[in-house]
């Protein structure tokens, strides 16, 4: 097992990935905006991904210290607003964290990934990339990850580095409930629209990420896998 750098590893899906990776025997390096709660299963670097200079210094220091075999670009932020009300500063912040940081982290880690015998990049996208009311800013950054994943996969294939995207649907996390009131009719309707009839769990997303990190996934690259309870094949309420 190798060393896995995970952005946004403090809570939710990122924390579930960190804990699953540690259980599988990986060395975990978490990049978080604040100190994670509880006992984090690995090393922690605290940095705001919106600050490119700070991000570059932090990740460069991690790269200098030792091997990196895999990168999980999980960090994300969201602001919900219809088109007329989108604040461009919010849109820029989402782009910086959700998309630009993915490129920068991959650039910084690439020399180490090229040295690995089982190099992996997994980007965490979102079902919102397929379109959702109020998610123009967020959804566009996640849609960009789909194209980014495919292009990175092509560029890095000669280095035997696989690049894939895991795109969750509604998952029971603070991130989801922060923009979807659990008591609201809209949220209830969304859950009812999921063919499997429930919210997903962070651990279910983590399991897919761990598969992509494994040697068994060595012939899969450039793909986006939706973890959404079947929501991508059904109608979604607004």
Q: Within a 10 A sphere around the Cβ of 237, how many other Cβ atoms?
A: 13
Helices (DSSP H) in 96-222: which residue ranges?
101-115, 136-156, 174-179, 185-193, 202-213
Contact predicate 31/45, CB 8 Å: yes
Reported as type and span, the H/E element at residue 165 is: strand 161-168
Q: Give me 206's structure tokens.
A: 């983590």
CB 100 within 8 A of CB 35: no
- What does the alpha-carbon distance between residue 112 and residue 120 come to, in Å, rounded to a whole number? 11
Which tokens go with 63?
A: 């790269």
Contact partners, residue 214, CB within 8 Å, separation at least 6: none
CA–CA separation, 226 vs 166, rounded Å?
6
Place of tokens 């910086």: 96
Contact at 8 Å (CB) between 100 and 52? yes
Verify whether residue 226 is a known catalytic residue: no
Q: Which of 40, 138, 175, 226 is catalytic?
A: 138
For the chain, the straight-line distance linking the first and the last C-alpha, in angstroms and rounded, comes to 43
3-state secondary structure at position 52 = helix
Indicate which residues carry an active-site annotation: 138
């Amino acid at each position: 097992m190798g060393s896995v750098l995970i952005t946004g590893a403090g809570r939710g899906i990122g924390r579930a990935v960190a804990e699953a990776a540690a259980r599988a025997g990986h060395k975990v390096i978490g990049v978080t905006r604040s100190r994670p709660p509880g006992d984090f299963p690995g090393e922690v670097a605290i940095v705001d991904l919106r600050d490119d200079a700070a991000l570059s210094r932090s990740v460069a220091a991690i790269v200098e210290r030792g091997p990196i075999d895999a990168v999980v670009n999980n960090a994300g932020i969201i602001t919900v607003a219809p088109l007329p009300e989108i604040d461009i500063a919010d849109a820029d912040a989402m782009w910086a964290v959700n998309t630009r940081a993915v490129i920068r982290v991959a650039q910084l880690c690439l020399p180490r990934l090229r040295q690995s015998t089982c190099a992996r990049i997994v980007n965490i996208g979102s079902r919102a990339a397929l379109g959702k009311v109020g998610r123009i800013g967020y959804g566009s950054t996640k849609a960009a990850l789909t194209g980014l994943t495919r292009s990175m996969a092509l560029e890095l294939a000669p280095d035997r580095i696989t690049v894939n995207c895991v795109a969750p649907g509604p998952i029971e996390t603070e991130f989801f409930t922060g923009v979807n009131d659990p008591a609201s009719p809209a949220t209830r309707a969304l859950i009812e629209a999921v063919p499997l009839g429930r919210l997903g769990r962070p651990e279910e997303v983590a399991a897919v990420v761990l598969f992509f990190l494994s040697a068994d996934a060595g012939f899969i690259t450039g793909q986006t896998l939706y973890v959404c309870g079947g929501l991508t094949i059904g109608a979604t309420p607004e």
